[in-house]
């Protein structure tokens, strides 16, 4: 008689444990990858698959400065199981480039995938010497090759900026293509030709982005354009909205606060299978740091007025989806 209550309690605990683990939805976990330093995410959806593009920090632990030579491609259909496609673009793929594979941006148009890439130019240097080129592929996972053989933007482009990095290209519903880029507090924009390789008009300033530092990113939801960007330094992610991609932009506040041990903050926003995601980097690996960053994914949520709620950063990541 004495054993029965003890057994019952043990069995109850065991069944609770099995129930709990059995029902727990697998989560992606943040940072997403623990054996590779990834930074500056960008993402797109193609054929029911989410493709993630990242840069990579290669500076050894204990040293300072960006050492970035390659970009990587990953994909998932459920947000938990990731296929690693490997490095699909690198400095040496651009004959005109010498170094610094900074934040790229990949976009689909005309059935091809266009990877806009900022790199230090081998010879053109008026300011910091950064230029922006584009590689193209027939599939998001490549192979990619330099589409032009020379950059689209350099230090000598009229009205370019001292640090020509962080491209963001947006193909609007009417098929007009817009090319944004910017850093060190200056942001520029130009229309692009349908060929995705040439500007189609002057480079103009984008006024009215409160606290803008770098990392412009455009997405559209319910007819509203959202301009998210890295703001201040150390950087937060802040945003503005507009009914027109040409502005004026109405400031709406902070969505991702500063990152411990990483002054840079770089975002991508994507909707996949009905879920909105905020993709960013932290210094979250045990040997992470300002130049040793790691990509993470958390949920992005809007309120009933279409405003973006502050992102809740987690180590659990996002749940598996079907």
Cβ proximity to ligand FUB, 66 vs 251, nearer residue? 66
**Cα distance between residue 56 and residue 70, in whole Å:** 6
Cβ proximity to ligand FUB, 68 vs 190, nearer residue? 68
Q: What does DSSP assign to residue 21?
A: H
* Residues between 200 and 219 that touch ligand FUB (CB under 6 A): 214-215
CB-based burial, 84-119: b 16+ in 10 Å, e otherwise: ebebbbbbebbebbebbbbbbbbbebeeebbbbbbb
- 238 contacts ligand FUB (rule: CB under 6 A): no
Cβ proximity to ligand FUB, 140 vs 182, nearer residue? 182
- Six-digit token pair at 262? 């990483």
Cβ proximity to ligand FUB, 232 vs 319, nearer residue? 232
- 106 contacts ligand FUB (rule: CB under 6 A): no
- 165 contacts ligand FUB (rule: CB under 6 A): yes
Active-site annotation holds for 93:
no
Q: How far is the CB of 51 from ligand FUB (least distance, A)?
A: 19
Q: Among residues 317, 242, 244, 253, which one has the least CA distance to residue 280?
A: 317
Q: How far is the CB of 148 from ligand FUB (least distance, A)?
A: 21
Q: What does DSSP assign to residue 67?
A: -
Q: How far is CA 271 from the centre of its chain?
A: 13
Q: What does DSSP assign to residue 122?
A: S
Active-site annotation holds for 40:
yes
Q: Among residues 155, 85, 144, 143, which one has the least CA distance to residue 118?
A: 155
- 186 contacts ligand FUB (rule: CB under 6 A): no
- 166 contacts ligand FUB (rule: CB under 6 A): yes
Cβ neighbours of residue 207 closer than 8 Å, sequence gap 6 or more? 247, 248
- 40 contacts ligand FUB (rule: CB under 6 A): yes
Q: How far is the CB of 186 from ligand FUB (least distance, A)?
A: 14
Please give the residue ranges that form the binding site for ligand FUB (CB under 6 A): 39-40, 55, 66, 102-103, 165-166, 214-215, 264, 266
Active site residues per annotation: 40, 214
């Amino acid at each position: 008689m004495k054993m029965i209550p003890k057994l019952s309690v043990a069995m109850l605990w065991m069944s609770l444990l099995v129930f709990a683990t059995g029902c727990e939805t697998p989560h992606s976990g943040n940072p997403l990858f623990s054996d590779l330093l990834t930074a500056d995410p960008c993402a797109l959806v193609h054929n029911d698959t989410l493709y993630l593009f990242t840069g990579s920090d290669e500076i050894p632990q204990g040293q300072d400065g960006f050492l970035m030579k390659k970009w990587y491609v990953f994909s998932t259909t459920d947000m938990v199981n990731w296929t690693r496609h490997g490095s699909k673009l690198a400095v040496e793929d651009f004959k005109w480039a010498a170094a610094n594979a900074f934040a790229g941006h990949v976009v689909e148009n005309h059935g091809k995938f266009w990877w806009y890439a900022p790199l230090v130019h081998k010879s053109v240097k008026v300011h910091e010497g950064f230029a922006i080129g584009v590689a193209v592929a027939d599939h998001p996972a490549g192979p990619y090759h330099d589409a032009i053989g020379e950059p689209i933007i350099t230090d000598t482009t009229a009205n370019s900026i001292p640090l020509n990095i962080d491209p963001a290209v947006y193909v609007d519903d009417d098929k007009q293509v817009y090319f944004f880029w910017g850093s060190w507090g200056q942001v520029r924009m130009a229309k692009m030709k349908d060929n995705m390789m040439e500007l189609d008009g002057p480079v103009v300033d984008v006024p009215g982005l409160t606290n803008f530092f770098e990392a412009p990113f455009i997405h559209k939801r319910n007819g509203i354009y959202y301009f998210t960007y890295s703001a201040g330094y150390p950087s937060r992610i802040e945003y503005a909205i507009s009914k027109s991609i040409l502005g004026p932009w109405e400031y709406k506040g902070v969505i991702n606060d500063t990152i411990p041990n990483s002054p840079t903050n770089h975002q991508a926003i994507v909707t996949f299978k009905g879920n909105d995601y905020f993709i960013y980097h932290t210094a979250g690996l045990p040997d992470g740091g300002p130049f040793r960053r790691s990509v993470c994914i958390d949920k992005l949520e809007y309120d009933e007025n279409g405003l973006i709620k502050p992102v809740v950063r987690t180590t659990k990541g996002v749940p598996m989806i079907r």
